């Protein structure tokens, strides 16, 4: 199964991708996580990416494509979380898949109103294992500790209200055109992300079970 999760920052892409990964055994690829790793390691690519990420702007296409291209080629099945985010990235993704004789099964758009996005991101607690929590909506069993791996939870530097405004603006300007792009290809599905995590997952599961059957 090859899918893309398309949604604004803080909508629940990472949360749902982890649930899909566990239930359907499909690898979760997050460009945000890959970029943060590169920043932490201090690679040239990471240094380049950091100045954009700090401002809540999109990292240039060639940088993101550079870190994700081989992963897409390597894996037969995947969930893409946070990629593509521009039309250029979407076209490159099509080209890579074409070359490999592969196709995307579906693009799931998670819809969440703007005012919710900020409160979700500001209360987000992240773990290096990929698990995400929320101070109010999805707290860990023990404060500050990941339920899954026992790791220490942290707040992302870009999860401030101020950075969120610019991230939401980038989403509107650069990523929203992808909705039409995938709609025209006939593979866009939309779920309501303004409900409990389990309910959102239930909607996604219905879509994925149907794909598995076809």
The reply to whether 25 belongs to the active site is: no
Residue of 2, 124, 174, 189 marked active site: 124
Residue 14 binds which of ligand ADP, Zn ion, none (CB < 5-8 A, kind-dependent): ligand ADP
The reply to whether 13 belongs to the active site is: yes
Structure tokens at 128: 């290096």
Distance CA 48, CA 135 (A): 31
C-beta atoms surrounding 99 within 10 Å: 9
Give the nearest distance from C-beta 115 to Zn ion in angstroms. 29
Element (H, E) at 192: strand 188-192
Question: Using CB atoms within 10 A of its CB, is residue 132 exposed (0-12), middle (13-18) or buried (19+)?
Answer: buried
Give the nearest distance from C-beta 146 to ligand ADP in angstroms. 12
64 part of the interface to ligand ADP, by CB under 6 A:
yes
Sign of CA dihedral 70, 188, 131, 213: negative
Interactions with ligand ADP, residue window 160-199 (CB under 6 A): 167, 193, 196-197
Nearer to ligand ADP, 7 or 26 (CB): 7
32 part of the interface to ligand ADP, by CB under 6 A:
yes
Give strand pairing partners of 42: none
DSSP code for 175 = I
Nearer to ligand ADP, 104 or 200 (CB): 200
Give the nearest distance from C-beta 29 to Zn ion in angstroms. 17
Question: In sequence order, what DSSP letters do the residues of 85-151 get, joined into one string?
Answer: -SHHHHHHHHHHHHHTT----EEEEEE--HHHHHHHHHTEEE-TTS-EEETTTB--SSTTB-TTT-P
Nearer to ligand ADP, 16 or 101 (CB): 16
Residues contributing to the site for ligand ADP (CB under 6 A): 7, 9-15, 31-32, 35, 52-53, 56-59, 64, 82-83, 85, 89, 120-121, 123-124, 132-134, 137-138, 167, 193, 196-197, 200
Residues contributing to the site for Zn ion (CB under 5 A): 127, 129, 131, 146, 148-149, 151
- What residues are labeled active site? 13, 85, 124, 156, 167
């Amino acid at each position: 199964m090859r899918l893309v999760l398309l949604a604004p920052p803080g909508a629940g892409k990472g949360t749902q991708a982890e649930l899909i990964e566990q239930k359907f055994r499909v690898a979760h690829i997050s460009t945000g996580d890959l970029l943060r790793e590169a920043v932490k390691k201090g690679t040239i690519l990471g240094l380049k990416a950091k100045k954009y990420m700090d401002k809540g702007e999109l990292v240039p296409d060639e940088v993101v494509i550079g870190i994700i291209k081989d992963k897409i080629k390597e894996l037969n099945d995947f969930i893409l979380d946070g990629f593509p985010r521009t039309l250029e990235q979407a076209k490159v993704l099509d080209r890579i898949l074409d070359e490999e004789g592969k196709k995307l099964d579906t693009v799931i758009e998670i819809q969440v109103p703007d005012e919710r996005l900020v409160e979700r991101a500001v209360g987000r607690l992240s773990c290096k294992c990929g698990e995400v929590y929320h101070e109010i909506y999805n707290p860990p069993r023990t404060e500050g500790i990941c339920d899954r791996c026992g790791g220490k939870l942290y707040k992302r530097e870009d999860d401030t209200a101020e950075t969120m405004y610019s991230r939401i603006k980038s989403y509107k300007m650069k990523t929203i055109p992808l909705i039409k792009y995938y709609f025209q290809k006939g593979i866009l599905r939309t779920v309501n992300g303004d409900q409990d995590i389990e309910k959102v997952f239930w909607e996604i599961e219905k879509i994925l079970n149907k794909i598995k059957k076809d």
